[in-house]
């Protein structure tokens, strides 16, 4: 059990350390660690994890870590994985914030940030692709996904309302 907790901590520590761009950008890293590297969850469970992590309050990466940790090793796993994903931020954010305020106007940093933004977008795109190829299983689910995307793009619908609409659509379409 101890080695499993160490593995959970280190896996989510890596996710927290290299997960630039927030929770959605971390999804590709989370998928690689929990499905490919450790087989802690299967793809269907991963899609459910993302839905649960999105519906519950708090950052997606922390919610995902807590969920995976609990699934793998119970309450101790939940605490361990959650600490793993937040620990890099605790270590890095304070010095990084101080450094950033000192160097923010530096031309090299501005150029680096311009390069990081599209890289983060590619991580989010990969996560969307990985989730989409398993969540869109037929024309009905494709229609729900397309409708949700259109609502998000062209209205100010709250994401929780969109999730509720999706749940109702699922109950009606898959009765």
- Integer Cα distance of 33 and 49 in angstroms: 14
pLDDT tens digits along 146-159: 999 999 999 999 88
Q: Which residues contact 101 (CB under 8 A, 6 or more apart)?
A: none
Tokens describing residue 70? 């609990």
Mean pLDDT across the chain = 87
Please give the pLDDT value at position 21.
63
User: 68 and 40 in contact (C-beta within 8 Å)?
Assistant: yes
Q: Which of 28-32, 66-70, 96-100, 105-109 has the highest mean pLDDT?
A: 66-70
What is the predicted pLDDT for the residue at 28? 81
- Which of 80, 74, 52, 76 shows the shortest CA–CA distance to 64? 52
* Range in 24-28, 85-89, 162-166 with the lowest mean pLDDT: 24-28
Distance CA 29, CA 163 (A): 24
Residues making up the chain, counted from first to last? 175
Please state the domain extents for the chain. 2-135, 137-175
* Dihedral sign of CA atoms 145, 147, 150, 151 in order: negative
pLDDT tens for each residue of 41-88: 998 898 888 888 877 887 888 899 999 999 999 999 999 999 999 998
* pTM exceeds 0.85 for this model: no
Residues with Cβ within 8 Å of residue 40, at least 6 apart in sequence: 34, 68, 71, 72
pLDDT of residue 55: 78
CB atoms within 10 A of CB 114: 9
Check if the beta carbon of residue 84 is closer than 8 Å to that of residue 13.
yes
Most confident of 5-14, 60-69, 124-133: 5-14
pLDDT at 66: 94
**Per-residue pLDDT, 20:** 66
Lowest mean pLDDT among 34-43, 99-108, 137-146: 99-108
């Amino acid at each position: 059990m101890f080695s499993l907790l160490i593995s959970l901590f280190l896996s989510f520590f890596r996710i927290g350390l290299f997960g630039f761009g927030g929770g959605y950008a971390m999804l590709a890293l989370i998928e690689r660690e929990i499905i490919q590297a450790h087989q802690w969850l299967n793809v269907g469970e991963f899609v459910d994890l993302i839905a649960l992590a999105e519906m519950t309050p708090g950052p997606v990466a922390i919610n995902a870590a807590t969920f995976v940790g609990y699934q793998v090793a119970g309450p101790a796993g939940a605490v361990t994985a959650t600490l793993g994903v937040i620990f890099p931020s605790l270590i890095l954010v304070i010095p990084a914030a101080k450094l950033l305020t000192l160097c923010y106007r530096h031309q090299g940093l501005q150029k680096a940030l311009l390069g990081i933004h599209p890289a983060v977008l590619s991580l989010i795109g990969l996560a969307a692709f990985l989730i989409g190829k398993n969540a869109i299983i037929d024309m009905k689910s494709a229609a729900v996904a397309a409708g949700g995307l259109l609502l998000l793009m062209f209205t100010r619908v709250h994401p929780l309302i969109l999730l509720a609409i999706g749940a109702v659509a699922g109950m009606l379409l898959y009765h």
